[in-house]
Structure 1
């Protein structure tokens, strides 16, 4: 299994490419969802890394995928410009999954 990056930032893509992770850069919700759908069908990809800004373009879709599908694993990563609210995101996912506010 391999990693794949979907980023809104060229610098993030280049940095991860240096460690052998392929990826692509998109900026619009429609483009992001098209790439995501395509890469989710690729059985060789086990983990899809997605920058925070892209997650914010389609939080409903990402939540649905995380709750209903085991593979590939979708992982939110902050880019060099942003601050990360991953803890809040995880709390929201757990709250939606079990129906209890944390």
Structure 2
């Protein structure tokens, strides 16, 4: 099973390509939705990674897919456009998951 990246910049794509993760670079909402549709129909893709900036272009669609589709897993990843407070974001995720404020 593979990962697949949908990114808004070449830097993220190149970095993950070095780790063996293929992907595409898109910028517009319709491109994001088209790339997402194609990736979801790839039999060998288990996880789709999408940069934060692209998730913000169509949050309703991505949230709905996360709730309804079991495979592939759709996961948002931060990139250079994301929040500089990634530590606080991670603390929030952990606190929400375990129910204890860190």
Same fold (TM over 0.5): yes
- TM-aligned CA deviation for residue 25 of structure 1: 0.3
Aligned to 2:18: 18
Gaps of 5+ in 2: 97-102
Q: TM-score, normalised by structure 2?
A: 0.81
Tell me the number of residue pairs that the alignment of Structure 1 and Structure 2 aligns. 89
- TM-aligned CA deviation for residue 82 of structure 1: 1.7
Aligned to 2:58: 58
Deviations 1:38-61, CA, capped at 9 Å, x for gaps: 110111000000000000000000
- TM-aligned CA deviation for residue 80 of structure 1: 2.2
Q: TM-score, normalised by structure 1?
A: 0.81
Please provide the CA RMSD for this pair. 1.6
Where in structure 1 do 4 or more consecutive aligned residues deviate above 3 Å? 84-88
